[in-house]
Structure 1
Amino acid sequence: MKDLRLQELLALIYRLFLAFLFYQVARFLFWVFNRDLIKVDSVSDYFKLSYYGTAFDTTAILYVNAVFILLSIIPIMINSRKGYQKFLFYWYFITNGITYAFNFGDMIYYRFSQARLTSAALEVGKHEDNLGKVFWNAVLQNPMIPICFIISIALWIFLYKRVNVKEQKPDQPLVYFMSSIANLSIIATLVVGGIRGDFKHSTRPINLVDANKHVSNPLQANLVLNSVFSFFRTINTNNFKLVHFVDDKFIEKEIAPYKTYEREVEPKPNIVIFIIESFGKEYSGAFNRNTKIKDFVSYTPFFDSLATKSLIFTNAYANGRQSIHAMSSVLAGIPSLTDAFTSSPYSNQKIQSIVSVCNEMGYDTSFYHGAPNGSMGFQGFGNILGFQHYYGKNEYNNDKDFDGIWAIWDEPFFQYYAKNIGKKQPFMSTLFSASSHDPFKIPEKYQGKFRKGPLQIHEPIQYTDYALKKFFETASKQPWYQNTIFVVTADHTNQTYYPEYHKAMNHFAIPILFFSPNPKFNLHGVDDRFAQQIDIYPTLADLIGYNKKIRSWGRSLVSDKNENYIIVNSDSINEQMIIGNYIYTFNGKDIAGIYDKTDLALSKNLLGKSPTAEQKLGMLKAKGWYQDYMNRVINKKLR
């Protein structure tokens, strides 16, 4: 009888050991496929990170295998029978196989999201009906990843079958049952402790932030983590919580959440905002003149030429990691932190934005996106912002121009846009492009027109740049053109080639451009101040002469006022803030790191040294900004 229980326990330990082994295999492969983005200095450093990752693997493996463990040790007298062991085999590999695949999907997804998979992907996915096409395109473009997955599972199955439980019948059922209950109690305690990451009652369960305790570079936290842990740990989580670090007077003075600008503008200008999919700063020559990148190649010839006649900001950052994050940042001045505002329980509230401001001033407001209506969540959030009109694939009504996966090709949709807006003036309109999205294809008729680059995205970026050129050719002939302010920016970054853009902060580096053919707006020059997407809303409110108070964490980039700035984004684990001469990382409770503003790789953490007066104030500002953000989002004070 003892031999029976012992062999069952040893088999269980062996099978769980295999899970740990293959999670380390997945971690290694994740690093191999993303080693240009996650720098590891030495073999010993890699093994150190892998060792720390074991705690997160433990939680993930126990999440997935809790039922399997119970089924393996529950005293039901048939545990060792072949039929029951076969049932356990299938249960083990179905549950582990599905979840293990998360890690392999992230080997592709991480290059775009710059973060481990979280449950926020469910929020994004529910708005799409083309996930099958996206999946198969990803498989075809990255064949080695599914091959590695299949080999790993095949080897896992082979090793699993090397240890079998021999069929036996307990000769003392009562003793067998009682000892099993004791074992079950001990194992249950170990499982709970393993899932929590600690046995201390006073310690909160391990979470994503804890990965940063073991790294010198914040990007390495994604190597410590695994995708199963990050996904399950963020299900039904809500990191929106009221906090209190500073008093209201400090927030009013140092954070200044309300702005007022005084400018008389008549007639009111039209506004056209382009949010270009994946249009990272790296791809544009005009925005890289001072980066000193050897043999730099630009893939945006028209955008570069437009920049010479525009006001451009060469040190600008996105405030989020996904497309929908850009919509709230650019139009409403609301950045996305560890948890996205747009997928939070608080997104459905009245929000002051450039849309509401323009509606108040009598503008005709519209939003254009060539994907099926409702895709990306744009239409729903557009309704919250108050757009009067929405134009998507349905309104375009010509599937001959559909790319087959995401949306209408940029060139024809941009032409539709140029000819459809401006029927009522003044107007404010936003177009969100689509063609520079993965799987990075261009229309068949343009094959060979654009040069191939080292990245897949380089060709479709040139196509979108060409579509933008054709838009301006058509728009310049329209009666509304002369009195229009154009803004061109990106939603987020994407594939990176130059080492400069592998740096942590440069994962958010985007262009921001303001252009108008009307010289009275004086939109020209190169500005190297720090800027961000949430500055676009107050800048436009200033330019159109909205002289009332606005709620904004950004600032007008054309104001004569000497306004303080706090550049904000999140790597999905920590919030990152550029304040004055330093970059601060913040985990919602404490400052996790302080870096010089030139240390975009976040490689030298100054935290722990005696802080300067500026650093002390900067830490308070970071906490104060976060406090005000949470207060306004949770208590519905975004108007």
Structure 2
Amino acid sequence: MKSFLMSCKLLFFRLSLALLALQLSRLFFFLFNFHSFQSLSASEIFLTFLGGFRFDIWSVFTIFLPLVVLHFIPGKYRTTKGFTKFFSIYFTIGIFVILLPDFIDTEYIKFTSKRSTFDLFNLITTGDDTLTLIPAFLTDFWYIPTGWILLSSGIVFIYRKYLNKPLPPMELAIKSSLISLASIIVLAGLFILTFRGTGYRPVSLNTAALYTSPPGINLVLNSSFTLLNTADKEELELKSFMTAQEAAAIFNPTYTSGKVNQHNPSNVIILIVESLSKEYCGYYNDGKGYTPFLDSLFSESLVFENSFSNGKKSPEALPSIFAGIPTLIDQPYAFSQYANNNISGLPSLLKNHHYQTAFFHGGKNGSMGFDLFSKILGFEEYYGLNEYPDKNDFDGNWGIWDEIYLKYFAEKLDSFQTPFLASVFTLSSHHPYSIPEKYKDKFPVGSLPIHQAVAYADYALRNFFIEAAKHEWYKNTLFVITGDHTSINDIEKYNTRVGTYAVPICFFHPSDTSLNSNKSTVFQHTDISPTILDYLGIKENIICFGQSLFKKSKKYSINYLSGIYWITDGAYYLLFDGNKSIGLYKYPEDVFEKENLLLLRSEKKQELEQYLMAYIQQYNERVRFNKLTN
């Protein structure tokens, strides 16, 4: 019994050291992202750190499970030097591994607004861009690997100085064997309890809402938990908030387009600008920004005060923009098990009406999975770096400089039959934010590294439109311009739950002055495809989780991040944890979530909640059972 108790004591100190490491990495994460948690009081921050222990225990049990079990298995090997060395090596590797995701997310979360989930590995392994850019990442964010190595090494030092001891002897006797068996059974129970919790559902990302208010979700979690917890994600949970008939009456994704307008078959060009946030556009910020050309174009276009993306990563933009499918799961839809579902992709639909369709991206083929998912959407042709004629124009990081590639794009369209649908996804405003050497002194540097790159991208778009205006197809082309997602920011209102999705969405047609207004209505990426179909007067029966601008109905924007859904109608926004509402705030007056109106605005809560529940119920069933086409 003495050996057993000594083993328990040694195990307790070893696991406590690992838990301490995770709390210290959480502190590092907190300090480097302090601006994201300013709305939390000191007591809330303390409780958030305290609540984080639940997720830390989950991670530690998962990573160190073999060591935990070996503490209670009897045998002569327990006291050998070789076994003690094995423990030391395993603990060392385990500490470095368990801390690495936290340190990566300390910076990466500024781009995604959430802790990394397992789709990060899909992103890394899709193409070789990430591997190529590792030196740039290490240079720009040198404090991340430095902090990781210092903390990990410090924890390992403490282990080797104070805890690197042989296990107490425990012979293969009946008594000790029974104690070991009982210990393992108890450990198994604790392990199950750790994974499932005390409720009916396993611990998951949205369990974090039990321990903190929504702004603290990313602080209470740790990144090794979010990665491992989503590694083998179960199928979408079917929801039964209401009957199918009731859900369809509130939100029906089935839509027949082409009933409103009757235009000539215009060409369509969709320009997706990497990381183009509203924050960078002077048009939305009293003239203070880095996009003078876009600002002038917006003044002659149909734009929206309340326009949002439906994702925080580039691969999430394609399903939402071209098929009206938002990412309401913990990984990009395009990387999920549902990516091969049959969908009502805009390219497929327009192809039925004799449109030539093509997708352009100046990056390496395979980058972000664009080449594969563009085919699922129905694009007939894909033009990537492999198809680009002069590899000398490579920027050294991602692909071809925006200015050069957009000129190539405009010239290539001359060979297309009309009408056509063509989309180009730019890349120069992606980290590491490089611009051509000849322009180093041309554009304002700004307060963030991305600002100069955005100014260059804007300049590239200006030159593209100058070039495009020379071509015959220009005057009969509908242009749609938007950002794929937001990026790093330094204006506080954009560093909020709703603000991190605020991207411009613009419709411009050189020959149609009716598209010249600034609408206050809510508009999101999933609304783009049905709006285009209606504008063109093309009749199709589609399944879409967006609404056409021309459909006479109230508009909403819906998003999901780290287990929490949010919906806004432009006046309020509601937070929902998958089962119940947890917050209601005025928009845009209370984007910092100071006053929760959940109990004070019951009618508004009911309206937003019912719509959101109907939306989720339809989404989960249709995505899970491949019911995304008529």
Same structural fold, with TM-score higher than 0.5 when normalized by the shorter chain: yes
**Aligned partners of 2:42 and 2:527: how far apart in 1?**
43
CA RMSD of aligned residues (A): 2.1
State the shift of 1:60 in Å.
Answer: 0.8
Task: Indicate which of 344, 354, 357 corresponds to 2:349.
Answer: 357
Q: 1:372 matched to which residue of 2?
A: 364
27-36 or 175-184, which deviates more: 175-184
- SS of the residue corresponding to residue 493 of structure 2 reads helix
Closer, same or farther: CA 33–281 of 1 in aligned 2, 3 Å: same
**Aligned partners of 1:550 and 1:180: how far apart in 2?**
61
State the shift of 1:601 in Å.
Answer: 3.0
Q: 2:24 matched to which residue of 1?
A: 25
- Is 1:233 the counterpart of 2:229? The answer is yes
Q: 2:451 matched to which residue of 1?
A: 458
Q: Does the CA-based 8 Å contact 1:313-1:528 persist in structure 2? A: yes
Q: 2:307 matched to which residue of 1?
A: 316
Q: 2:279 matched to which residue of 1?
A: 282
State the shift of 1:137 in Å.
Answer: 1.8
State the shift of 1:621 in Å.
Answer: 1.4
Closer, same or farther: CA 632–422 of 1 in aligned 2, 3 Å: farther
Closer, same or farther: CA 5–554 of 1 in aligned 2, 3 Å: closer
Q: Does the CA-based 8 Å contact 1:371-1:434 persist in structure 2? A: yes
Task: Indicate which of 196, 204, 207 corresponds to 1:207.
Answer: 204
Q: 2:515 matched to which residue of 1?
A: 523
Q: Does the CA-based 8 Å contact 1:78-1:84 persist in structure 2? A: yes
Q: 2:295 matched to which residue of 1?
A: 304
State the shift of 1:525 in Å.
Answer: 1.7
Q: 1:247 matched to which residue of 2?
A: 243
Q: 1:384 matched to which residue of 2?
A: 376
**Aligned partners of 1:250 and 1:603: how far apart in 2?**
34
Q: 1:578 matched to which residue of 2?
A: 568
Q: 2:216 matched to which residue of 1?
A: 220
**Aligned partners of 2:441 and 2:78: how far apart in 1?**
63
**Aligned partners of 1:256 and 1:12: how far apart in 2?**
55
Which residue identity is paired with 1:573? Answer: G
Q: Does the CA-based 8 Å contact 1:7-1:165 persist in structure 2? A: no
Q: 1:567 matched to which residue of 2?
A: 557
Which residue identity is paired with 1:182? Answer: A
**Aligned partners of 1:454 and 1:516: how far apart in 2?**
34
Q: Which runs of 5 or more residues in structure 2 are unaligned?
A: none
- SS of the residue corresponding to residue 531 of structure 1 reads strand
Q: Which runs of 5 or more residues in structure 1 are unaligned?
A: 290-295
- Is 1:269 the counterpart of 2:255? The answer is no
- SS of the residue corresponding to residue 76 of structure 2 reads coil
TM-score (norm 1): 0.93
Q: Between Structure 1 and Structure 2, how many residues are aligned? A: 624
**Aligned partners of 1:483 and 1:444: how far apart in 2?**
36
State the shift of 1:411 in Å.
Answer: 1.1
Q: 2:257 matched to which residue of 1?
A: 260
State the shift of 1:592 in Å.
Answer: 3.1
Closer, same or farther: CA 518–109 of 1 in aligned 2, 3 Å: same
278-287 or 563-572, which deviates more: 563-572
3-12 or 309-318, which deviates more: 3-12
Which residue identity is paired with 1:318? Answer: S
**Aligned partners of 1:176 and 1:270: how far apart in 2?**
79
Which residue identity is paired with 1:506? Answer: G
Q: 2:603 matched to which residue of 1?
A: 613
Task: Indicate which of 306, 316, 335 corresponds to 1:343.
Answer: 335
**Aligned partners of 1:458 and 1:580: how far apart in 2?**
28
Q: 1:180 matched to which residue of 2?
A: 180
Alignment of 1:373-522 (within 5 A): 373-423=365-415, 424-519=417-512, 522=514
235-244 or 183-192, which deviates more: 183-192
State the shift of 1:404 in Å.
Answer: 2.1
TM-score (norm 2): 0.94
Q: Does the CA-based 8 Å contact 1:337-1:572 persist in structure 2? A: no
State the shift of 1:478 in Å.
Answer: 0.6
Which residue identity is paired with 2:585? Answer: Y
State the shift of 1:240 in Å.
Answer: 1.5
Q: 2:165 matched to which residue of 1?
A: 165
Closer, same or farther: CA 163–141 of 1 in aligned 2, 3 Å: same
State the shift of 1:273 in Å.
Answer: 0.4
**Aligned partners of 2:171 and 2:483: how far apart in 1?**
71
CA offset digits 1:241-267 (Å, max 9, x no partner) = 322222344334321322434255453
**Aligned partners of 1:637 and 1:167: how far apart in 2?**
57
**Aligned partners of 1:140 and 1:498: how far apart in 2?**
25
Q: 2:193 matched to which residue of 1?
A: 193
Q: Does the CA-based 8 Å contact 2:3-2:168 persist in structure 1? A: yes
Q: Does the CA-based 8 Å contact 1:316-1:530 persist in structure 2? A: yes
- Is 1:328 the counterpart of 2:319? The answer is yes
**Aligned partners of 2:317 and 2:352: how far apart in 1?**
23
Task: Indicate which of 597, 601, 610 corresponds to 2:592.
Answer: 601
Deviation >6 Å, runs of 4+: none
Which residue identity is paired with 1:436? Answer: S
Q: 1:633 matched to which residue of 2?
A: 623
State the shift of 1:239 in Å.
Answer: 4.8
Closer, same or farther: CA 365–182 of 1 in aligned 2, 3 Å: same
State the shift of 1:175 in Å.
Answer: 4.1
**Aligned partners of 2:167 and 2:270: how far apart in 1?**
70
Which residue identity is paired with 1:308? Answer: S
CA offset digits 1:321-359 (Å, max 9, x no partner) = 111111111111111113332222222132213212211
157-166 or 220-229, which deviates more: 157-166
**Aligned partners of 1:172 and 1:95: how far apart in 2?**
29
Closer, same or farther: CA 267–95 of 1 in aligned 2, 3 Å: same
**Aligned partners of 2:11 and 2:30: how far apart in 1?**
29
Q: Does the CA-based 8 Å contact 2:21-2:151 persist in structure 1? A: yes
Which residue identity is paired with 2:165? Answer: V
Closer, same or farther: CA 226–266 of 1 in aligned 2, 3 Å: closer
- SS of the residue corresponding to residue 510 of structure 1 reads coil
Which residue identity is paired with 1:562? Answer: K
**Aligned partners of 2:170 and 2:261: how far apart in 1?**
91
- SS of the residue corresponding to residue 421 of structure 1 reads helix
Q: Does the CA-based 8 Å contact 1:274-1:431 persist in structure 2? A: yes
State the shift of 1:206 in Å.
Answer: 1.4
Q: 2:61 matched to which residue of 1?
A: 62
State the shift of 1:41 in Å.
Answer: 3.7
Alignment of 1:23-62 (within 5 A): 23-39=22-38, 41-62=40-61
Closer, same or farther: CA 426–17 of 1 in aligned 2, 3 Å: same
245-254 or 153-162, which deviates more: 245-254
Q: Does the CA-based 8 Å contact 2:74-2:171 persist in structure 1? A: no
